[in-house]
Amino acid sequence: MRTTINQVQEMKRRGERIAMLTAYDYPSARFVEAAGVPMILVGDSLGMVVLGYSSTIPVTMDDMIHHVKAVVRGTQKSMVVADLPFLSYQASSDDAVRNAGRMLQEAGAQAVKLEGGEPMAATVRRLTQVGIPVQGHIGLTPQSANQFGGYRVQGKTASAAAQLVRDAEALQTAGAFSVVLEGVPAELAALITQRLTIPTIGIGAGPHCDGQVQVFHDMLGYYPDFTPRHAKQYAHLGDVIKQAVAGYIAEVAAGSFPATEHSTSMSAETMEALLAELATSES
């Protein structure tokens, strides 16, 4: 049985902090679930950290479905939340239902995440009314980076912060089961967390959210281009990979790989018979 939205909400009521992490493929999903993460996000961040785009804007529904399916195949217990990519839900709530529905029906996710506050409330209501759990996402919403003029912390003035409070409350009223707060001041995240009954999940939003979410590649040192300020590196997989591959190249050059244990062999009699057969066929 996978983690349910009710269990995640119960964690907030009990004051238990929620660790959410992204995963994008079968092995990462298996490792993340085995470590005990209750909620896995297949984020559209995969556009950058897996596919090498410079933003999340080019990510399509087909890209997302492909990766969500792999994560679902690699998990049994974690809730899988599928990010709705740019333009898959903004043009109409019919688009939102169709595309969010694909994430559940075709890809096997248990919930979807979408970016936006008050203007998205009607869409969130429509999705939850047809039985699709929705996680909201406000603050620094990467799909709007062009509108923001870059990846900038949001809610820094009193009026911008008040709008984010209204956004969070509108999402909750519309039926969202949780809200991601990205790139907002810690004090504002604390205030929103205190005002909402649904869990807030922070990224670059300080320590007072009900939970945290991080990008797999950022926290493991597995993205070569940059590490965002909000990410803590718990490992340096890039260095491990470079070292391992250099070792492989050196052993291939030296002829010490493959060793006997990596090879299969033929008996001396079979080799003798083979040579005899070749000699006969060539004479």
State the angle between helix axes of 26-34 and 61-73 in degrees (0 to 180), rounded to the nearest 10: 50
Nearer to ligand KIV, 171 or 262 (CB): 171
d(CA 170, CA 137): 12
Q: How far is the CB of 173 from ligand KIV (least distance, A)?
A: 22
> What does the block give as tokens for 99?
């595309």
**C-beta nearest to ligand KIV: residue:** 43
Nearer to ligand KIV, 231 or 275 (CB): 231
For residue 211, list its beta bridge partners.
18, 201
- Which of 10, 16, 169, 182 is catalytic? The answer is 182
* Element (DSSP H or E) covering residue 83: strand 79-83
Q: How far is the CB of 120 from ligand KIV (least distance, A)?
A: 14
Nearer to ligand KIV, 11 or 41 (CB): 41
Nearer to ligand KIV, 211 or 246 (CB): 211
Q: How far is the CB of 20 from ligand KIV (least distance, A)?
A: 8
Which of 65, 132, 52, 138 is closest to 93 using CA atoms? Answer: 132
Are the C-beta atoms of residues 138 and 168 closer than 8 Å to each other? yes
Binding site for ligand KIV (CB under 6 A): 22, 41, 43-45, 83, 137, 180, 182, 203, 213, 215
Which of 184, 176, 228, 231 is closest to 209 using CA atoms? Answer: 184
Please confirm, yes or no, whether 182 is among the known catalytic residues: yes
Q: How far is the CB of 135 from ligand KIV (least distance, A)?
A: 9
Secondary-structure breakdown of the chain: helix, strand, coil percentages, each rounded to the nearest 5 = 50, 15, 40
Known catalytic residues?
Answer: 182
